[in-house]
Amino acid sequence: MRFYSTQDPNYKVSFKSALFHSISPYGGLYMPETIPKFDKRFLELLPEYSFPEIGQKIASLFLSDNIESTKIKNLVDKSFDFDAPLVSLNDQIHVLELWHGPTLAFKDFGARFMAQLMSYFVEYSSEPIQILVATSGDTGSAIANSFLGVDGIKVSVLYPKNRVSKIQEQQFTTLGKNITAYEVEGSFDDCQKLVKAAFLDRELNESLKLTSANSINIGRLIPQIFYYVSAFSQLNKKGNIIISVPSGNFGNLTAGIIAMKMGLPIRKFIASTNINKIIPEYLKSGHFSPEPSIQTISNAMDVGNPSNFERLLDIFNHSQDKMKNKINGYFFSDEETKSSMRYIHSEFNYIVDPHGAVGFSGLTKYLTSINSGTGIFLGTAHPAKFFDIVKNTINIDVNIPERLASFMKNKKQSVLLSNSFDEFKNCLLERGK
């Protein structure tokens, strides 16, 4: 299978090229030449498959032209020694817990599989790889820990100063080795701009072999399809399912839409955001108007110019009508988010982080509007990653898992940067020597 640029569908590359270059020379993101369809028998037998077995079958549909089947199995098995359990709050509302990986966030799914893919291809390359990743919280920790100590790969994590939780920051600033953390004086959007500018800079690309580990990388999206299919399998219903996705850069939602296009019987997706409401506003008005991001308690969703919007446009043939037929968008303030956190705890004796609460809010708002349906919202991070917010909101101490607490014992190591591209470029060139 080949992969084309969203800015020029005639420009097509191999999966390996798409994996290591992230953005095409024309500035577009990569999409599969065709979206494969699930075999009817596969969907019927889903309850019999384990998560790795689901992953192997889906990955083969995209990658079998590039990687032999036994290798795909090995890559999947190495990536996923954890599960994505579906927990029922009541008969109508369910939460897909995506935080059982090593850094306790959903980003572990994409990061670990992509790390295995890159390691597989790097074996056949003598040139070192430089991974650039902008993070609003969990992406940085997932990527850094997935690639820690991997030969032939260096990782640069850019994050906005004072805009991630302390635990999140400790997870990627204390590692050292082949991981460098850049603390940027600005927003996540500033970090993302620096990364995109680096990929378009001729001197950097001639001097270094750059790639990205953000959701702009197609290698991140493919494994995210796995858990949508697993959720459907665990729910064990024939269809008519609504899925609410806490959304920031919209890679997670894009993976869900691809799963739906492959034949997963999903009735509707809910794009649930905080007050960075760019996509909900687009679904309402038809106008895409990026704005500077606003800081909230659900910081991983503080994105004012979602990169994966152009993938969504591509999937729906640039039609707002087609997109809003499958996606409803809602946004919520911090106070509404806290109210949902309190409600979930009091009503179901269940604790969610702020992002999960936004997903719950979007799901319940839609279910109320249609008076029927079965819904799933994504639990994207363990509540302990937002300990202070959760404690202050529901007045309870959250148990901090040992693998998370261990990060707090280590010393922070970061490089302070302005949002100047020239400064960042010089750092990369110096580090690449």
Which tens digits make up the pLDDT trace of 68-105? 999 999 999 999 999 999 999 999 999 999 999 999 99
pLDDT bucket at 123, cuts 50 / 70 / 90? low
The whole-number pLDDT of residue 301 equals 93
Asked if the model's pLDDT at residue 168 lies above 60, the reply is: yes
Amino acid type, 18: A
pLDDT bucket at 279, cuts 50 / 70 / 90? very high
The whole-number pLDDT of residue 253 equals 98
Asked if the model's pLDDT at residue 126 lies above 70, the reply is: no
Strands (E), 247-349: 266-273, 327-331
What pTM does this model have? 0.90
Once rounded to an integer, what is the mean pLDDT over residues 319-331?
A: 97
**Lowest model confidence (mean pLDDT) among 184-193, 275-284, 313-322:** 184-193
The whole-number pLDDT of residue 303 equals 92
* Residue 373 falls in which region: left (phi positive, over 0), alpha (psi -120 to 50) or beta: left
**Lowest model confidence (mean pLDDT) among 36-45, 66-75, 133-142, 378-387:** 133-142
Asked whether the beta carbons of 346 and 322 are under 8 A apart, the reply is: no
Once rounded to an integer, what is the mean pLDDT over residues 144-152?
A: 89
Q: How far is residue 393 from each of residues 154, 168, 274, 339, measured CA to CA in Å?
A: 39, 19, 17, 8
Q: How far is residue 52 from each of residues 8, 285, 316, 388, 400, measured CA to CA in Å?
A: 34, 41, 30, 35, 27
CA distance 327 to 106: 21
The whole-number pLDDT of residue 212 equals 83
Domains by residue range for the chain, with CATH: 83-106+218-400 (3.40.50.1100)
Q: What percent of the chain has pLDDT over 90?
A: 79
Asked if the model's pLDDT at residue 177 lies above 90, the reply is: yes
* Helix axes 354-370 and 334-348, enclosed angle (nearest 10): 80
Query: Residue 15: is it exposed, middle or buried by C-beta count within 10 angstroms (0-12/13-18/19+)?
Result: buried
**Lowest model confidence (mean pLDDT) among 196-205, 235-244, 256-265:** 235-244
Asked if the model's pLDDT at residue 427 lies above 90, the reply is: yes
